Structure 1
Amino acid sequence: MSASPRTPIAITMGDPAGVGPEIVVRLACAPRAGDTPLLVIGDIKRLRGVADQLGLALTLFPIRHPDELGDRGLTPGQLAVLPAGEPLPPDLPWGRVDARAGAAAYAYVNRAIDLAFEGSISAIVTAPLNKAAMAAAGITYPGHTEILADRAGTQDFGMMLANDELRVMLVSIHLSLRQAIEAVTPARELRAIRLAARACHAYGIAEPRIAVAGLNPHAGEGGLFGDEDKAIIAPAIARARAEGIDASGPWPSDTVFMNARRGHFDAVVAQYHDQGLIPVKYLGVENGVNITVGLPFVRTSVDHGTAFDIAGTGRADPSSLFYALKQAEAMVRSGTEYRACGCNPAHG
């Protein structure tokens, strides 16, 4: 599963009814700093239709395997497309939940994972999928992260959201708030702290400072507003420190992100999905990237959803996809591996 910087990066098209096809086309037609060969796993007719609608000159090359690219990097206005799953119907509507689109998006991701396992691609960059569309197709995964982790056969994984100002690791990901509170356990806390430190090392930070956000208001105020912070989170921080990780907290969540932006911490461990994503996305989804830590390959993603409200209108902003690709290229160049203990590529 090791790959060189000249091994192609695969971009999955995401839900075909969302903005994924448009942001992929816009990226393919724009100049970029990196020279890593690219390919898109998706539907060539959908991409062609978007390019025509936008009036963009885009030459699409159908391929069956990344080896067909050789060592060439396609120039702006050229894009290799590798199909997966069933061809999309020509009448697939934009901006609507559709089981056919959900099944296609799932097929694109699985094909990318297969290629990553065999070493034919150096990283996976994902455009957004739609959870309701996947559910309509009978696919029960709540998101990309869980698909990737299940296929990799690892429980030691996490989602980090990052931009130029913040790095945030989540203790739990796609759970209801009630379930997220129940997921605050010593083991999950320690895992998130370790993964946050590992991700910081990938960014070249030798001795990362990890801040852990509290679960309750004022981090529990000594037990006045709940005892999870004192009874569960604090002991996990102490365990991490005993392992040599510079972890601290739990800090009140209403100030810890601000202090991280000011340079006091290198990453923040957030206790649940919205606690961590709101501050990152408030700073702008166009410069955000979603990184799955703990996989045996590099995976980054845009920091936004399928945006059904603007899908098919030509108004999608590809900035987050550019940033996700930039981060993936940097990780590939550094030789970083997000390899988790017990990871079994044959799983799934």
Structure 2
Amino acid sequence: MEKTGKPTINDVARIAGVSKKTVSRVINRSPLLNQDTRARVEAVIAELGYVPNVQARALALRHNFLLGLIHDNPNAQMVMNVQAGILEAIRDTEFELIVRPIDRGSSTMLADVRAFLERQRLYGVLILPPVSENDMLADVCNDLGTRYVRMGSTALDAPEHMVASNDSDVVVEAVNHLISLGHSRIGLIAGPHGFRSARERRKGFEQALSEAGIKLPRSLIADGNYTFESGLAAADRLLDLSPRPTAIFASNDEMAAATLHAARRRGMSVPEDLSIIGFDDTAIASHIWPPMTTVHWPIISMGRSAALKLLADFFGDDQAVEEPSLFPSTLIHRASVAPPRAGS
């Protein structure tokens, strides 16, 4: 029989002997689909010349094939790494990523997010810290029926709505490493106020010193904002002290790199005169000299897992993969840490 009109998903399903849902999974590269079924459906798609009508499907499903990323974060590298993880998860699918920065200090933040979700009709949204710590944003998503996952430095929600790291625990490990080498005058460059990550990292720092019986003078804590410039000012403040610290833990790699810069400006040698540990394991940590000892934060894996959590319903329960909610960070040993000089 001569074909009339464009082939439809119903035509593909009928000829391949599968359901429309199975055809949809083939189109969207569901990871656990049977390979024989996939090959059969793809052959029918090729034979018929079927091209999915994304707009029509979006209208029928009452959502667009879009995942959203909502953030208010000064760390551009962190946001880029999350995007990389999401894009890895949706590669070869019909889904696209839309990024929406917001102002957490705005009185209209919740209304702005609600309008954004209503306008874009997202399939799901990933919310980055620190705005992920706002329970009212989760309430907005629930009210609109928008799937969501929150990212944080500790558990904030049910596992299906959460990807988290163990920031305080791994900072305990990092500071214990400094203590084991003989450091007792250790400075902290803290993250910005209002960030749970900053709070968790400071918590781990203080816990390690307390458990070792080391007193922490307030003068050894300097506030930063996760930026190089703020790290430079904080490092200068700590290195102006007399006696100055023999080691500094910076709450992210940008501020750790700034600490190295501040030390070099003073003619200090790293790690001989000053040991430095950062957090994130971004490219800057391995590209500077000496390469930076830092905490590897598995942010790309967290972004990928968050996206797959959002897509679990789309792939169907029988195709779902249980994604982890906790992503342990690990201490990466490089060349910026050594025992303190004798007598320092």
Normalising by the residue count of structure 2, what TM-score does the alignment of the two structures yield?
Answer: 0.26
Which structure has the bigger radius of gyration? 2
Normalising by the residue count of structure 1, what TM-score does the alignment of the two structures yield?
Answer: 0.26
Structure with bigger helix share is 2
